[in-house]
Structure 1
Amino acid sequence: MKQERHIPRPSELAPLMRFKRFETDGRTRRLAKAHTIADLRAIAKRRTPKGAFDYADGAAEAELSLGRARRAFREIEFHPAILRDVSAVDTSVEIAGGRSALPFGIAPTGFTRMMHSEGERAGASAAGAAGIPFSLSTVGTTSPEDVRAANPEGRNWFQLYMQKDRDRSMSLVSRAAEAGFDTLLVTVDVPVAGARLRDSYNGFTIPPQLTPRTILNAIPRPEWWWNFLTTEPLTFASLSEWQGTIGELLDTLFDPTMDFEDLAWVRDQWPGKVVVKGIQTVADARAVADLGVDGIVLSNHGGRQLDRAPVPFHLLPAVRAELGESKEIILDTGIMSGADIVAALAMGADFTLVGRAYLYGLMAGGREGVDRAIEILTAETIRTMKLLGVASVADLNPGHVTQLQQLVPRGDAS
């Protein structure tokens, strides 16, 4: 039967011609186009000088640890249940003695104001608005007091690198405690800095130097440089006086002699919860648990320390089996989506931390960019839970996920 045709009348075209109001704010406009963390990363790369972007984006040596961690999350299989009431989903969790509205928080990141001039203040205020913890690094570029001012009602955690100057380290710890930080993240996987080769190739220094190369790189990124040059200088830990690479700075600061006795001593100095970050073996998980800390973070430092380190997500089931429910387990490294967060929770993690995902949002759009990163991860987490037939984080279990096995140890050749 031949289909009849006619010239459409204006009244028929009118419903199809609905134009969106043009958004005049460029930041809002570009962030609205980001629907994944990868989208935020692409925006961040366009808007941030190569040295600062590569510092956040890169990892150690051949970057195998980071690649494997992300691959581990891609190589999972979900097992959804059907006909469950998921009209409302509870994403809240109890972690380190307090509530988090979402099962992820913001990981500690160093030199954050180099990524964007709003730096840790943007991360802390966005975390407070979302009801999740924010972690300040020892080598952050905002003081504990200013982080508290940016997030006065929310949860702030302080991440400690033990420095060779232990008085300076413990002075920072005391300031964090006095500013109301409730949890101390003692990071134990940095006796020396990893070989972050992108920084070496870029000649990236603290603070960034104006050279012919950086000037050429700055031409299409004037907003970043304007913000960097017209806002307060990087003053945390005398960074303004350092002229070497970040790796060289870390090697001069950090104490490679720290041991389990030192960890126990630090635990006794802190009035709140103590969580040890950088656990990469079952034996070390047991050892620090036996010291009486409140929890651990399974982490290979985002692949930024020892390349070819264990994948935390792969290690998670064995550590949970070893510790049972006696200690809280937080997981980071490789998380780029809400589906990754849900998989980690199902496999035994109590909580997760996101670092690069947060920094991509920060570089893409300051505070609003961090808000957008949290929105993306939240929507993905809720959608994944609903599609799994799960209405509460507490209902997630290993039956919801299979870790597909490609990176597995070879058996004895004999």
Structure 2
Amino acid sequence: MPALDLNRRGYSIDAMRLLARGVLPRFAFDFADGGAEDEWTLRRNEAAFDDFAIVPKPLNGAGERDLSISLFGRRISMPLLVGPTGLAGLFWPRGEECVARAAAAAGTGFCLSHGSVCTLEDVAGVGASPRWMQVFIYRDKEFTRELTQRAQQANYDALVLTIDNQHLGKRERDIRNGFGIPPRFGPVALAEMSLKTGWFWRMRTELPRITFGNYVRPGETSDMKTLAGRMASLLDPAMSWTDVDALRALWRGPLILKGILHPDEAREAVERGVDGIIVSNHGGRQLDGAPGSLDMLPAVAQAVDGRIPVFLDGGVRRGADIVKAIALGATACLIGRPQLWGLAVAGERGMAHVLDIYRREMDRVMGLAGLRSVDEIGPDLLNPPAGPSARSFPPRTFIK
């Protein structure tokens, strides 16, 4: 898509989502876009932001705005990072490397998914920083140690332990489409791919080679079916705080827990030496009926009490959402699905465009609200929260 068309047609994150839906086969779009079961939690992640309004103070004189923040001793350009999403390489060739380069160019950080197509070493070779690595607790504790040591050797800046994916959620769009991990391209999927000529043409040589790069071991088969089976069998549903302690002892850099919703777990994380937490419900892809991430953010932030950074993941679709999250106690936000929509539309350029949308929107909101820096964003910026029955603003709409 020409740059002019991307600026004109990809004018918002929701517009990028619709563009992605137009270029992707149905199974690929729904894999990225869908959630678990009735998708209530997925919808709530976005709708929760509508419970708050920003009350501006335009006479503060915010002619110039500084969006940057300090994070683990590094300065990043804005309080937004790219979160981990699996199989980015299904949306654009070597998608994870595209994301890393775009994040670096935007002056912010990214987290690589354990289920990436590119290996963690290949992505580290891009040179983008700060870069974080996602890991899980596995039955084979030696494999957890192996991935952690590989991340250390590849100079990843932080380790992100995801704790809410030990049992796979029931993702009914994928069931309806006959899509699984690994992808099985039956007659319907093949017909869909043939109609999405742009995607199919650029992916034609990649599809046979798509695999989970971090799970390939020397001398073993790298086919996706074998690796997917290994991944499912490796995850340990009996994961506990003992495993967190063991990982804390092994990893020398910042350790971040992703998937915290309960204030008690946030408090425990601080006491056990965790360096950051991500308030997240896995984008509504796991426990349907869990609260929206923003619903739990104030209580979690209160439990942490400023001792470590608190990040928000889930439903961030506007620059105003980032501002609201910070006002409610977040240090920064992470995005998941929007990176896949950007990749699907225009690869690295599409990812860069997504980040630029957030940056420009946040800058505009801060200017209109009279905010000169992120440090000036506080709870007094928002009106009292309105419950769902008393919401003053129309709810967002969702298109499946």
Q: TM-score when scaled to structure 1?
A: 0.88
Instruction: Name which of 185, 191, 195 aligns with 1:210.
Output: 185
Q: Tell me whether 1:191 sits opposite 2:177 in the alignment.
A: no
Counterparts of 1:367-406 in structure 2 under 5 Å? 367-402=348-383, 404-406=385-387
Q: 1:47-196 alignment to 2 at 5 Å? A: 47-150=23-126, 152-196=127-171
1:66 Cα deviation from its structure 2 partner: 1.0
Deviates more, 1:235-244 or 1:178-187: 235-244
Q: Which amino acid aligns with 1:52?
A: A
Secondary structure of 2:99's partner?
Answer: helix
1:258-337 equivalence runs, <5 A? 258-337=239-318
Shift of 1:145: 1.4
Distance change (3 Å), C-alpha of 1:317 and 1:210: closer
- Give the percent of matched residue pairs that are identical in Structure 1 and Structure 2: 34
Structure-2 change in CA distance of 1:249 and 1:376 (3 Å) = farther
Task: Check whether the contact 1:205–1:244 (CA below 8 A) recurs between aligned residues.
Answer: no
Q: Compared with structure 1, are the counterparts of its residues 355 and 249 closer, same or farther at alpha carbon in structure 2 (3 Å cutoff)?
A: farther
Please give the alpha-carbon distance, in whole angstroms, between the structure 1 residues aligned to 2:357 and 2:141.
Answer: 40
Q: Structure 1 residues 141 and 272 mapped into 2: Cα distance closer, same or farther (>3 Å)? A: same
How far residue 250 of structure 1 moved from its aligned partner, in angstroms, is 5.4
Answering whether residue 164 of structure 2 is matched by residue 220 of structure 1, we say: no
How far, CA to CA, are the matches of 2:318 and 2:263 in structure 1?
26
Say if 1:138 and 1:213 are closer, same or farther in 2 by CA, change over 3 A. same
Whichever residue aligns with residue 97 of structure 2, its letter is R
Residue of structure 1 equivalent to 2:238: 257
Q: Give the distance between the partners of 1:162 and 1:109, measured in 2 at CA.
A: 17
Query: Given residue 369 of structure 1, which amino acid in structure 2 is its aligned partner?
Result: G
Tell whether the 8 Å contact from 1:124 to 1:147 is kept in structure 2 after alignment: yes
Distance in 2 between the 1:153 and 1:59 partners? 30
Amino acid aligned to 2:177: N
How many angstroms apart in 2 are the aligned matches of 1:244 and 1:196?
21
Distance between the aligned counterparts of 1:196 and 1:244, measured in 2? 21
Aligned to 2:209, the other structure's residue is in SS state coil
- Residues 60-100 of structure 1, C-alpha deviations (whole Å, 9 max, x = no match): 11110010111111221111002122121111111233221
Point out the more displaced range, 378-387 or 30-39.
30-39
> Structure 1 CA distance, aligned partners of 2:81 and 2:330?
13
Letter in 2 for 1:366: G
Runs of 5+ unmatched residues, structure 1: 1-25, 409-414
For structure 2, the 5+ residue unaligned runs are 390-400
2:339 alignment counterpart: 358
Larger-gyration structure (1/2): 1
Q: What is the aligned residue count?
A: 381
Shift of 1:252: 2.5
Task: Indicate how the Cα distance of structure 1 residues 89 and 269 shifts in structure 2: closer, same or farther if over 3 A, else same.
Answer: same
TM-score normalized by the length of structure 2: 0.91
Q: Give the corresponding residue for 1:6.
A: none
CA deviation string 1:113-151 (max 9, x = no partner): 11222310110000011111110111111111111122x
Q: Helix, strand or coil: the match of 1:83?
A: helix
